[in-house]
Structure 1
Amino acid sequence: MYQDSVLEGGKTVKRARTAKLKNHSVSNVAGYLFISPWLAGFLFLTLWPMAQSLYYTFTDFSLLSAPKWIGLQNFQEIAQDRFFYNSLKVTFTYVLTSVPAKLGFALLVAMLLNQKLKGIELYRTIIYLPSLIGGSIAVAVLWKNIFGISGFINHIVPLFGIPAKNWIGTPGTALGTLVTLSVWQFGSAMIIFLAGLKQIPSDLYEAAAVDGAGKFRKFVSVTLPMLSPVIFFNLIMGVISSFQSFTAAFVITNGGPLNSTEMYALYLYEKAFATLHMGYASALAWILLVIVAIATMINFMASKYWVFYENEAGGRG
């Protein structure tokens, strides 16, 4: 009888395990079914195109004929391409000027909108609304008209003693108009900064006030350290998006004048779809991926010196 009880108990445990495994399998299948649209999109719209692009990097491919394997020839030609180096120079100049300016302006606006004023929610909505269409073709066309020879800016600057000029058609100022547009598209960074500011405990400012700290000292000693993780996030996102900037350069200046706004992404586009050098363009794309990866890695490595997290020992990140 004891053996029968043991056997019966073993069968019960086995059936329970089988039922559990069956339920687990059903749950897995249901989960994969729910994420299958994303998986399909990732596999066929991201991973497969990237694999194809990597293969085309080592080929001579013009979209009009079959790819021909040429090894590292595309990279050898890129190394001797002066327009490639010019696009790098323009893009790095754009990134190093637009990202800090945009983040600084976004933080300033966020601090202004963090005040306890009547109707502040309406002000936040009004200021953020332009960012909803900030990267569109329509805004780029509008910006082109504003900074044109007969645009709005040339009706304003003479009031400050600045002579009117074709801001877009002058090599020294054309890139500046694109940087200005980037700064104007500050809405997303501003919203993130505003959320970060609201998470800073008010007792820190009260303690600083007791110690005699003024507004500037509070900003430097409390706001910036507590906001550093948010600044770091916006910095990473800003650098990545700036390296891929295309629409403004394509619509407003089309790389001119004298290639002064020939962004890297615009040069890549021209090689791919204007001259149909798809293999060459694929090599450019992978070089850009490496550049962005290196820039991101440098930012992560440097972050340990200035990004602070309050949940770690000593409040240090």
Structure 2
Amino acid sequence: MATIRWTRDIGWHDAQIEARRPFEIDPACSVLHYAQEIFEGMKAYRSKEGKISLFRPLANAQRFRESAKRMSMPQLPEATFIQAVEKLVDIDQAWVPETEGSSLYIRPFMFASENFLGVRASNEYTFCVIACPVGPYFKSGRSTVKVWVSDEYTRAGRGGTGAAKCGGNYAASLIAQTEAVTKGCDQVVFLDATTNTWIEELGGMNVFFVFDDGSLRTPPLTGTILPGITRASIIELAKAEGIYVNEAPYSFGQWRADASSGRVKETFACGTAAAVTAIGHVRYAKGEFNVGTGDEGPVTQRIRNKLIGIQRGISADTFGWVHHVT
């Protein structure tokens, strides 16, 4: 694991890479009481030629800084973030799998590590990077997933931490995710906290809708939705392919009506862990419906193949997204 410490009087210091080990923390460690914690999710990929690369690490570094700013934490320089990830991946490159659909998942995170009881920002923080090999995010083996639309729980409100990648957001989503599983679904869909009308995102990923005219729609970034790097990449990929992308609010009622009429042909979730995954079936408190035929559609498949092709070095990277480590 790679670690760097920060203290108010010194700043960033004591950077090192060592064997992965448990942290020793005091019961008064402030992260345990006031939840100052942020993290990122990244992957290292091995190409057919054996080369190892990262996908858009600068975007992760930038988002990490934005999350830190929102959580009143020190902002790690982007170059330092990338260097820490690079060095860890280089040392652990034997752990980057070669099999299709697998990768080395990388988890940079930072937490308040000062020991005190009192509601204020910490004066000490620990930044750390760990990694482990992973396979596909959804284990069902199906080409599509089922989602549950929550009408009771919300993920984030205006002025909150919805745009920050902090642990508290995920903790708050777990009860809704558990409910989704009890309903026979793989993921939960959250609606806005104000009107319980507008689709925001899933428990750990963004969402896109494919219309009968070939266009895409995705909820806009208004401060309550995580600005996904996969989301941003899909928007750029689609535009480069001549596909119109509309970043605009979309209500659950309209989605249900458009799926029924055939106006919405496909829906897919996207994120670092899930990549691009088709949503085939939707359940909610008063019923359920299929999206399209219930199977993965051609647009979803095309976008997924384009994205994964670039990430794995199969397709040309005309965007400058691939960052080579070896």
User: Normalising by the residue count of structure 1, what TM-score does the alignment of the two structures yield?
Assistant: 0.24
> Per residue, is there more strand in 1 or in 2?
2
Please identify which structure carries the higher helix content. 1
TM-score, length of structure 2 as denominator length: 0.23
Q: Which structure would you say has the larger Rg?
A: 1
